[in-house]
Structure formats: C-alpha cells, structure tokens
Amino acid sequence: MAVKMTRMTLTGNQAVALAMKQINPDVVAAYPITPQTEVVQTFSEYVANGEVVTEFVTAESEHSAMSAAIGAAAAGARAMTATSSQGLALMWEMLYIASSYRLPIVMPVVNRALSGPINIHCDHSDAMGARDAGWIQLYSENPQEAYDNLIQAVRIAEDRRVLLPVMVCQDGFITSHGLENLEVLDDAVVREFLGEYRAAITLLDKDRPITMGPLALQDYYFEFKVQQAEAMRRAPEVIEEVGQAFGQLSSRQYGFFETYQLEDAEAAIVALGSTAGTARVAVDRLRRDGLKVGLLKLRVFRPFPATRLVEVLTGKAVVAVLDRAESLSGMGGPVFTEFRSAFYDLSSRPLFVNYIYGLGGRDIGLDEFHRVGSDLRKILAEGKPRQIISYLGARL
C-alpha cells in the first residue's frame, strides 16, 4: 500500500543527496567534480548539521574516495560515494576491485563527457566506459527517478543473491542541475524499506577471519570471475522484486525499461536518461504525421535485460537505438551493439540502426527526432537501411 509523500522542488543532485540522507549510510567518501559536486556538498551539510550518523571522508582524489569506500564496505559498513567523468575514470582500477570483492557500494554518477578536449557537459562516455567493470547500472530520466533509483539501488546491492556495487546515473546539468517537482518519502519509511545492513562477511569479524584481495593466479582467478557473472545473472530477479516493492510503497512502478506507444508500433526508438522525455513528444508528433512509432526507455543497462527486450521488440520492423557515447571503431555505440546482439539468433528480427548523438552536451531536439522519423519511413518503405550508424546533430 502506498504511503503519504511530501512534494518538493529539487534539482537532480539535491534529490540524490536527500536520498542519501534518508539512507543514512555509515560511510561516505567523496571528492568534488563538476557536475556531481552538489551531491556530496549538500550531503556534507546533512553531516555537519547532525542529520545523519555518517562518517564523511574527504579524500584527496576519486581513486582515494573509492578506495575508502571499499575499505569501509569490507569492514561491514554501508558505504557510498559519488562522481562524474574524469573522476570515474580515475577510479577505474578500484571499480573492478569493488565488484570482485562483492561489496554492495552504491554510487551516484552524474554523466559527463570524458576529455579530451575538456568538456563538463553530458554524455554517457564515462559510465559506458565502465560497463564491463562488474557494476549494475541504472539510468534515470529525471530527478524523481534519480531519487527513486538510489533508494532501490541500496536494497539491490545488499541482497545476498547479488552483493554487487551499483551506479545510479543521471544526465549532467540536464537533470543534475534542473529543478523539478518530486514526491519524496519520509526518512523513516526509507529506512524501514532498506532495513539495517548486516554484511555477510567482514574483515572485523574475529570469529570468522577472512582474506580480501589475495593473489589469485591460474588456480582460482577464473572461478572468482564466474562467481561475479553468476551474481550478475541473479540480479534481474532482485531488481524486479525491489522495483515491485518500491512501487507498492510509492505508486511508481519500476522495471528494466519503460515503453510508450510501443504496443502497435512498426518502428521503435530506444533511449536512455533525459532524452526519453524529448522522445515521447517526438513520438506523438511522428504518430500525428502517420508513422507508427513507439519508445523504449532503457532503465537497466547492466545487467543487460536481453530476454525481456527481445520479448517486447519482436515483431517490430525496425529499431533505432540512440547512443550518447561513441565506441570509436566498434560496430556502433555500446547500447546499439547490445541490442543487436540480443536478436542475433532469431530467424525473424527487426532491422537495427544506430544514432550517436549529444556528445559533450549537445542538445537533441525535435528536429533531430524528425530526421530519425524520416529515416525510419525510408527503411520501412525500402526494407533495409541506407546507413546503419549515423551521427545525429553533428556538423559533418
């Protein structure tokens, strides 16, 4: 049964910081980086005001922040950090260590382009670059979803069937600094939903001593990786359960993706993050112009929900996948290659086209979606795409 909620106007960063306050983690280790800084800055005010019991660690770099979070989680603490762009890249080594140690660290990531040239605005190259680091990745369309996803992420990460770290992504400046109306839960409701964290194993349990970070060569390294893969394969069940439980609490339902006007569509557009809002308006306009098109907004990128996506997109003639990251010499953007691979073994499958867009924060508007719609019409008429990979909105 849904509980009473409070309406507030917050930026995406403020919404995430509020969720962190309600989660009340044991340890937060942080280093500022634009456009994430407001998250840890706001949370540090909660610490200073005595509104949480969190030990706040001001690290000297993002690498150190993740290292501190790993140490805290290994000792049995509920640990968090936050970052963007170059900060996430500086954590690279530690991302793999966090996941291989099976530590349920939760990290808000405010997506920002990777240098160079230096750029502080949104694309998904930072999180997409870490897509194979063993972290679950959730993407948020707006501040409400960033708030909701962060709360769910803690319960997903800490589930004994999973025990993997989770990134909760939102688009830099577009949602992180954009004010929107939200419905937020009471602190007590969030804490009851999450429960008290009790680590399965900790470095401080003298009665059950363990080793973390041992040398594992040919004899056991492979088995560690298989166990991580098995945990990722179990994660979808937990993500679904947590989404349903949160939906009962908040009346906001969460799954692996969300569809709009997709059921009777001949063509589909796939998008992540804030772009989905523009895409819905574009779908309405394209439908008024006679194109039967729908939207699939992907929320969970890791683990990639291939089977579920095949179920919902089978029967569509063509699927246009939008990527806000460039793989540079790959067979399309990272989201596109996953979608195309998911359908590889089907005898009857949609045609797939890929649009790289919005790099470095470049806006995507209805004109760009009109271009996508025009291409989709041609593909439907001709039975094949003239070009599989295109750059949408770039000066060429």
State pLDDT tens for residues 150-203: 999 999 999 999 999 999 999 999 999 999 999 999 999 999 999 999 998 899
> Nearest to residue 298, comparing CAs of 124, 133, 83?
124
Asked if residue 332 lies in contact with residue 367, where contact means CB atoms within 8 angstroms, the answer is no
pLDDT (average), residues 128-148: 98
Q: What is the pTM of this model?
A: 0.98
The domains spanning 6-250 and 259-392 adopt the same CATH topology: yes
Secondary structure (3-state) at 213: coil
Number of Cβ atoms within 10 Å of the Cβ of 183: 15
Class of domain 6-250: alpha beta
> Nearest to residue 137, comparing CAs of 100, 173, 99?
99
- How confident is residue 363, by pLDDT bands cut at 50, 70 and 90? very high
Q: pLDDT tens-digit profile of 20-78? A: 999 999 999 999 999 999 999 999 999 999 999 999 999 999 999 999 999 999 999 99
Looking at residue 200, its pLDDT comes to: 87
Looking at residue 329, its pLDDT comes to: 86
Q: Residue 28 — φ and ψ, nearest 5°?
A: -125, 120
Q: Rounded to an integer, what distance in angstroms lies between the CA atom of residue 83 and that of residue 91?
A: 9
Looking at residue 396, its pLDDT comes to: 84
Domain limits, the chain = 6-250, 259-392
Class of domain 259-392: alpha beta
User: Looking at the predicted structure, is the pLDDT value of residue 2 above 90?
Assistant: no
pLDDT (average), residues 385-391: 97
User: Looking at the predicted structure, is the pLDDT value of residue 333 above 90?
Assistant: yes
User: Looking at the predicted structure, is the pLDDT value of residue 1 above 90?
Assistant: no
